[in-house]
Structures are given as C-alpha cells and as structure tokens.
Structure 1
C-alpha cells in the first residue's frame, strides 16, 4: 500500500488530531493529488474550526481552477483576520489562471502584481529579465513589507526556465559563485529553485551540503528542491546530515517526504545512532510520516522515554501513527486525552499556546508565516 493510499481514508477525518497529522504529512510532499486540495478547501469552508489549519497547510499545493473558484466564492465570508491565509493561496496561483480570473481577483491583488503577470505572460526575454531584477531588488531591500514578492519571483524564475532563457551552465556559474559567500543572494536562491525545476541531479551533493548553513531562505528552497528530486540519490546524500544537530530538522524532513524503503531505513539507522533527544525527535517524526509498520520498534522504544519537554508534539505524533496504521498501544487513549486537553473545551483546531509553549508545527509567533520549528524554534 502506498503512502497516499494509507492516508486517503483520513484526509477529512473528524478526529482533529488525525487530520492535522495528515495535513502536516502532506504539507511538503510533492505528489498530492489536485483533487485532494479541492476536497480540503471544501472542508475548510464547511467547517470553520478546521479552516485555519487546512489553509495554512495548503500553501505549497497547486491551486487549480476548481480550487480557485472555491476560494473566490468563500473569501467574502471569512473573518478579516483569517483572510491572509486565503490570499496567500491566491498569491501562489499560476499566471494564466490569475489573468483568466483577473476581474474577480483585482480586489485582492495589488495593481503592480498584475503588471508583473502581464510581463510573465506576454513579455520578451529582456522584459522578463528586467522584471526579475526589479522583483529581486524589492525582496533584497524589503521595499514592500506589506506584500510577499517571493512567490512572484518564483513565477518569473519558472517562466525563464520554461522559455529556455537560462542554461545549465549559467545556473552552474551562479551556484559556484554563491557557494563561496557567507549568505546566498536572492538571485542565488532562485537559481537553486531553477536547478530543481530542471532536475539538475548533479547538484544534489552540493544542495545537501547547504543543510549545514544558517540561512533560512536558502534552506527552505534546498529542502523543496531535494524533495522534488524524490530519489534514493538524494537519500544517500542527505543521510549524513540527519545525524547532525545543526542539520537534522531539514534533513529529516527530506527523508520523511521521500517515500522509499532506503529513506525509511536511513531514518531507522540514524535514530539508533544517536542518544540526543533533540536529534531523535525530528527523526522519529519523519519516520512516523512513512506510516510503515517497520517504524514500530523505534516508535515503541521512543514512547518509553519519560521527560517533561518535547521538541515535537510527541504524543500527537504517536497517537496518529498508531491510529492510522490500525495498531494498538496501551497508552493510545491517554495520548489522545492529553492532546485534546491542550485544545481546550472548545476543541479549537487553530494553533494554541499553552503555558507559553508553542507547538513545533504551529505558525511561528514572529509572524513570518513559517512553521515555528523552521523559524524561531530552530
């Protein structure tokens, strides 16, 4: 049974803990069916208690025409404070779809962004590259704090790749130059993205080495590119980094999203090769997202630990892992009870903070839009 077949029955689960786990497991997975995104959007607007969680976890999924229509129909009914989640999804749609629905979307997208869409759709190479430079400059200098230009930069980069306006050699040159710098520029990060689009597998070892860097924007793009390659070549290159405290979060995420037997075995080996809790926990979480009974020995052993603080919501992880696999455990109901108590009497599915503690998979309290574990919780 494939990964998607295992979790499909739980996609719209009434058990909020199970559905949250499914959403988390699908968040960065590259093979989510478009119809699943449509179903989740329908659920989000049917059930307000689930809305924030679902919309937050759909930010990396493709929004097709049916999905966009659902968003357009329902934005007016959303609470003002929650609309940014839907607007973020709109910001990610492909240019042809945006232009097709321009009349309905004009109130949500700034005028200058429509100008960029027109250049992407109809501009010549010189026009597109000129706009590319302008957008990167806005990002570099934070000239538009009220609007996220990063998805727009990726749209322009994708256009450049699809039109054949950049060569493999040009990307190689940019990456070679940027690798020697302490920080990657926005252009360097976009070249990582473009290398991923072109499936330039020769850069897998280089990208894996970047996992040791302290550069969040670069790490996010490297993480996405390596997951998109979706191969055991990536698993072999990333495996050493899942054993290091400095790189385990992203490395474990990559191995958790590549659903091969080798990725599963590397996570199991890495778990046993360290006794550091802050290394083990991202590994056990990634291992759980394979939803394989082969992970039961490690999960059973890990849940024998007694400690007051967990880097991941470990009881939530364990409860969902055993439940989705249909496995029994004597503490299953206790784990569920403990997690549900954190949600409070209203059983809110939106992220909550208890005793000044925020979940590692909740949105970061700094407002960056990233998950806490990949932002201030690093």
Structure 2
C-alpha cells in the first residue's frame, strides 16, 4: 500500500472537500516530501479560499528553501491570514532563517533572532544552560506559555542534532519522570527527543503514556510514536484504541502509521467498539489510511446514520471513495451534505430539508484537528472538543 502514491494526484484538487481531506491526512504524517509542502504553499497563495486551511495544516511539515523564498515574496501581499503565515516563518529552521534574515527580519522578533544565533553558534554548555532555564520557567509558570515551549523545543532539537544527549541520559530522565504522577516539561521534551533520535526501545514506554491526562505530553507522545512508522508501534498502541480515555490519540497515531497492520488494527477496533463517537474516530482514521480494503467498514458506518461531534463523516466518506476512484450509490448525497456545511454551516440548522428532505443531524461539526472556535489557539480536540 503506497499512501503517498495514492494521494499525490489529488494534492492540488479543485474539489474543496477532497483537498481538505488531503490536508487532514498529511497534517501529522512525518514523511511528506518537502516539494509537496512547497506545492501546497503555492496553491495557498494562488487561491485565497484555501489559504487559511493550507497554512494551518502544513505547520508540522519542513519548509525547504523554495518555500521560504515563496513566503518572502507573498507575505507582503497578504490581506488575510497573515498571522498564520508568520507562524510558518517562525518554524523555519534556524540556519535557513538566518540565511534570509534581511528579508524576514520584520516577521521575527529580536528575541527569536537571538535564539537562532545562539542555536547555530552556542556551545554545548551554553545551549544546555539556556535549555535548563527555559524548562524551569515553564515548570513554574501559572499558565502554559506556548512561545516559550516552542523555544524549548528548538533548543532540544539543537541538542539532539549536535549529538549532545545520549541514550543513557534519556533513559535516566525517563525513569525519573515515570516515577512521578505528572511529567515535567523536561520529561515532555525528553519524549520529543526520543522521537527525533528514533530510539525504538522506548516504543512500549511511550504507548503506556497514551491514557495520561496531559494534552501537551500526549501531543509529543503521538508525534514520537508516529515518527517510527513501524508495526511495533501498531502492536503496542492497539489496546489503547479500545480505551475511551486514549482512543483520540491512539487513533491519531494509528491513522498515520501507513502499514497493513495498522489498517487491520483499526478495522478490528471498529467492530469491537460500541461507542458511536469512538467508532467515528476510527472511521476517520480508516478513511485517512486510503486503503481499498476497508470499504465495507466505511459503507457500514455511513448506513447507520450515526452522529458525530468530532468528525465530518460525509466529507470523509465522499473523499475516501473519490480519491480511490470507487463508486458508492450515496456518493452524491454525501457530497451535497458536506458542501452545504462547507459553504454555510448555519443553513442546515434552520432549513435542513434543503439537503435531504429529512431532519439533519449535527450541522455544525468541527474537525478535531481544526483550530478551536473559542480562540484558545489550541486544536479543537485538545480544548472544547475534549
């Protein structure tokens, strides 16, 4: 099964439903080619209708030099979503950002430029000292400081890239953290380092954290597990698909492990799960796998007419069948419902009969990876959608 080969023809789809599903499916996948991110960025600036969605969903992808040049050319012309473009600028690798400092200086704070210089030229002792101070502030702050956390991650990435941390040091830190009820920020960033270093022996330990009640930790655990892209992850994560406290993150991990074993695990979990909302999450994960072997499960779930507050089921089913070039007798019905919601989320609440002639369910769905409408800056699944 070649996920990238299947999705590539739809990377610049003119169908907004398919494009949105493509963006969702690629958002947390670690092996997206850099040239794809560049192509999506070009598409964003060519079509303002998709600008915000694309800028949001490529934030985890690596920006190459062509993408940086494109941002430099386009940001001065932007009339909307400027903050999302600046967010991408702040995620450019330090060396590359410094190369284009003259063109980017007005979009990055002096503090961040100083950090970039420090990361590129600082000694091991200096970087570790700054890292320790940053983590200490995070641990003692009354509220979560997202900007400071990103600074700590940049310092942690520098430490890993320059080989300044050993497996033994990681092991000692993890032992200390596992002995406590809550992970410190140093522990959370150690999980981040495990993913960067591809330390596979920690896969079972990381999976054991999936039922923790700490979204920042869970985001890093999920990203680290996804980075391994192997069936050992599938094996240890599978039990967490059936736990209501861990299914959101477990299904997110599993949908981004592109192997037949992951597809089979999701399929089995779907049949073993009785909760309709959990089933919807599993169907979304199956749709994002883009495997032709799960049509029965997707069709079965759509026939149940189940509701979901987290997943736009019609969009997922329509896009799945369309991307794979498969026929389904309800394909046009799903497209109409999904397009109506896409174009006017409030229409169905007042005139549901315009789509199906029947009372419609759940007309204001929000994707679990979408920005929360409350304005917190977090993903919906980590905020009001919990």
TM-score by length of 2: 0.91
- 3-state SS of 1:49 partner: helix
- 3-state SS of 1:210 partner: coil
The answer to whether the 8 Å contact 2:311/2:366 transfers is: no
Q: Select the structure with the greater relative contact order (CA < 8 A; seq sep ≥ 6).
A: 1
Mean CA deviation greater in 7-16 or 297-306: 297-306
For 1:268 and 1:144, how far apart are their aligned partners in 2? 40
The answer to whether the 8 Å contact 2:131/2:152 transfers is: yes
For 1:169 and 1:149, how far apart are their aligned partners in 2? 27
Compute the displacement of 1:226 (Å): 0.2
Counterpart in the other structure of 2:12: 12
For 1:366 and 1:178, how far apart are their aligned partners in 2? 32
Output one character per residue of 1:152-200: Cα deviation in whole Å (capped at 9) or x when no partner.
2222111111222111111111111112223211111111111111111
Output one character per residue of 1:223-270: Cα deviation in whole Å (capped at 9) or x when no partner.
000000111011001000011111111111111111111111111111
Counterpart in the other structure of 2:118: 119
- 3-state SS of 2:303 partner: coil
Compute the displacement of 1:147 (Å): 6.7
Mean CA deviation greater in 305-314 or 115-124: 305-314
Unaligned runs of 5+ in 1: 347-353
The answer to whether the 8 Å contact 2:311/2:368 transfers is: yes
Unaligned runs of 5+ in 2: 346-361
Counterpart in the other structure of 1:28: 28
- 3-state SS of 1:324 partner: helix
Counterpart in the other structure of 1:375: 383
TM-score by length of 1: 0.93
For residues 331 and 355 of structure 1, do their structure 2 counterparts lie closer, same or farther at Cα, with a shift above 3 Å needed? closer
For 1:355 and 1:326, how far apart are their aligned partners in 2? 27
For 2:193 and 2:59, how far apart are their aligned partners in 1? 19
| Runs ≥4 residues deviating over 4 A | 141-147, 354-357
1:39 aligned onto 2:39: yes
For residues 143 and 249 of structure 1, do their structure 2 counterparts lie closer, same or farther at Cα, with a shift above 3 Å needed? closer
Counterpart in the other structure of 1:232: 231
1:362 aligned onto 2:370: yes
Kindly tell me the number of residue pairs found equivalent between the two proteins.
371
The answer to whether the 8 Å contact 2:237/2:250 transfers is: yes
For 2:368 and 2:112, how far apart are their aligned partners in 1? 33
C-alpha RMSD over aligned residues: 2.1
Counterpart in the other structure of 2:212: 213
The answer to whether the 8 Å contact 1:244/1:279 transfers is: no
Counterpart in the other structure of 1:349: none
